Structure 1
Amino acid sequence: MFSRHELALIGATIIWGASFLIVHHAMRSSGPLFFVGLRFLVAGAICVALFHRHMRGLTQAELRAGASIGVAIWLGYGLQTHGLQTVSSSQSAFISALYVPIVPLLQWLVLRRPPRLASWAGIALAFAGLILLAGPQAGGVSLSLGELTTLLSAVAIAAEIILIGRFANQVDSRRVTVVQLIVAGLLAFAAMPLAGEGVPTFSWVWLAAGLGLGASSALIQLAMNWAQRTVSPTRATVIYAGEPVWGGIFGRMAGDRLPGLAILGAALIVLGVIVSELGPRRRKPG
């Protein structure tokens, strides 16, 4: 039997998995930057309502920390949402999960912290899975534009994780969460003219998806903070590894049909995620 804390984390992964399909459909009636802006400003507004009393103590250091994390969120989810215009929700879910084994690689490159043996094993498994998921070609591996932007989004999300870890013990997490969500949303709207993206024609699809995912992003973060007080890091890691699996399940229900090699690749990515997180766990905000 699962505890209520574990059930809360399972519920979070189910919602994360479903979000890929929701965004994929929303892209039929909205541009990626507008949708990302709506999603994160809604999440930021909810957090402001919840934490408005704490915002009075916002410091310059917290503002800088939240802004830097917000830039990474904007890049990560902007690229991921852009990719969902052309790749299936299942592919996006599994490629996005690569952010976990990418984190130790970035730490090595930027902070000069060499990955642990388990991290190297996870990296090897995950990238072998990416090759199979993308589809090996006669001359090597060919990533489509959508797959490439989704892979780049995983790099940006990995940078977000590192930044969160960098500032975690120096700031008030509630105030920084508000700042990062609002910065991500405002940057997405500000980038629309530069990308040649206009405000979409009104649609209940992008409105409901944006409001729903914005609300879930805020509420899931609160649920995670509550649940992870009692759930061990190892068990939480296994639960979180189900995110791309749920994404694949929802994609399958919607008609996605991955070939056999791609399914094997997806399984290797999930295995790589679990293996690379056998030590201390890192997690993105919902």
Structure 2
Amino acid sequence: MPTRFRWMRLQPQETALIAITAAWGSTFLLVHWAMQHSGPWFFVGLRFLIAGAISVVIFRKALRGIRWRDIGAGVSIGVMIHLGYGLQTVGLQTIDSSTSAFITAMYVPLVPLAQWAVFRRRPPAMAFVGAGLAFLGLLLIAGPDAFALTLGTGEIVTMLSTLPIAAEIILISVFAGRIDLGRITIVQLLTAGVLGLLTMPVVGEGFPEFSWVWVACAVGLGVSSCLIQLTMNWAQKSVSPTRATVIYAGEPVWAAVIGRAAGERLPATALIGGALVVLGILASELKLVRRRRTNRRRDPATPVVSNRE
């Protein structure tokens, strides 16, 4: 059977994920600024406590009927948020944002593979093609230094952060259609915030000196984190983890655009990489369709029957 490609229409949920990915891409620059004035776990804790407080105000009525399964689902996702964002923030203390973006992007091919291995759900073929193109584009965005990484502490912890990030995306899809949106958003954000502060004495981190820089960054990222997690919880009710991950792969592209506006110059390889990321997203929107053959050979002796009366 001949195979043809068919474009899949972009759903409103996917459009929303593209929008929050742009906001997500701006966080690298803000976190980088904040790390010059604050410790990583304090900042992660404050950031998500602010996000959780905002979500409580928005969904306070939903808390009246909260159930243990709401709490369990929210805590499991919150733990992954705490580990993913926390380790990534620790890494940003010693490595630059482009290297961090490259290493973090390793979750792009991890999600479809993990989904296949854990849930025995084989993603569509074009999802792998899209993820591969996006990951190749991220390599080019990172530049030649990405191919010669010296695995220091920053690189190692950032690499470890990709595992909980991938787990977060999968868990959100698992619980999205079963749990109340407001409740799970509140619980996961507050869980990530509380765990961030509780990690401080474990790693020997103290409270930072007051600075309007980390205050402003924490408030800004708290608002964006609430919006990002809320949108992810809503959109991934109908968007698969693999398709969502390819969309999220555009994060470093947006980060590069914001960096350009802040005065950074993009090399030609980074522009090509950005194009590959976009191509990967478009490829993931393709669906392979096998066309059935309808022109069977007709026996000449068989009369042609008309449908007309």
Q: Tell me the TM-score normalized by structure 1.
A: 0.78
Task: For 1:58 and 1:237, locate their aligned partners in 2 and report how far apart those are by CA, in whole Å.
Answer: 29
Per the alignment, residue 86 of structure 1 pairs with 94
The reply on whether 1:103 has 2:111 as its aligned counterpart is yes
The counterpart of 1:142, out of the listed 125, 146, 149, is 149
If you compute each CA radius of gyration, which structure gives the higher value, 1 or 2?
Answer: 2
Counterparts of 2:121 and 2:15, CA distance in 1: 34
Q: C-alpha root-mean-square deviation of aligned residues, in Å?
A: 3.7
1:32 pairs, out of 35, 40, 50, with 40
Write out per-residue CA displacement over residues 143-177 of structure 1, whole angstroms, 9 at most, x where no aligned residue: 54434433432332121011111112221121011
Question: AA paired with 2:197?
Answer: F
Per-residue deviation, 1:209: 0.5
Equivalents in 2 of 1:34, 1:274: separation in Å? 39
Shift of 1:128: 3.5
Q: SS at 1:192's partner residue?
A: helix
Equivalent in 49, 56, 80 of residue 48 of structure 1:
56
Name the amino acid aligned to 1:162: I
Question: Amino acid of the residue matched to residue 47 of structure 1?
Answer: S
Asked if structure 2 preserves the Cα contact closer than 8 Å seen for 1:89 and 1:248, the reply is no
Deviations 1:164-194 (A, max 9, x none): 1111222112101100001111111111122
Counterpart in the other structure of 1:284: none
Which amino acid in 1 is paired with 2:200?
A: M
Deviates more, 1:54-63 or 1:118-127: 118-127
Taking a change above 3 Å as real, the CA distance of residues 219 and 130 of structure 1, as seen in their structure-2 partners, is closer
The aligned residue for residue 194 of structure 1 is 202
Deviation string 1:52-88 (CA, Å, 9 cap, x unpaired) is: 1211211111111111000100111112212222333
Distance 1:7 1:209 in 2: 26
2:102, 2:139 within 8 Å by CA — same for their partners in 1? no
Moved more, 264-273 or 113-122: 264-273
- Percent identity over the alignment is 58
Structure 2 spans left out of the alignment, 5+ residues: 1-11, 238-242, 288-309
Letter in structure 2 aligned against 1:199: F
Q: Which residue number corresponds to residue 177 of structure 1?
A: 185
**Aligned mates of 1:103, 1:111 — CA distance in 2:** 11
TM-score (norm. length: structure 2): 0.73
Question: 2:17, 2:231 within 8 Å by CA — same for their partners in 1?
Answer: yes
The amino acid across from 1:135 in the alignment is P
Q: Distance in 1 between matches of 2:55 and 2:206?
A: 27
Please report how far the alpha carbon of residue 95 of structure 1 lies from its aligned counterpart in structure 2 after TM superposition. Answer: 4.4
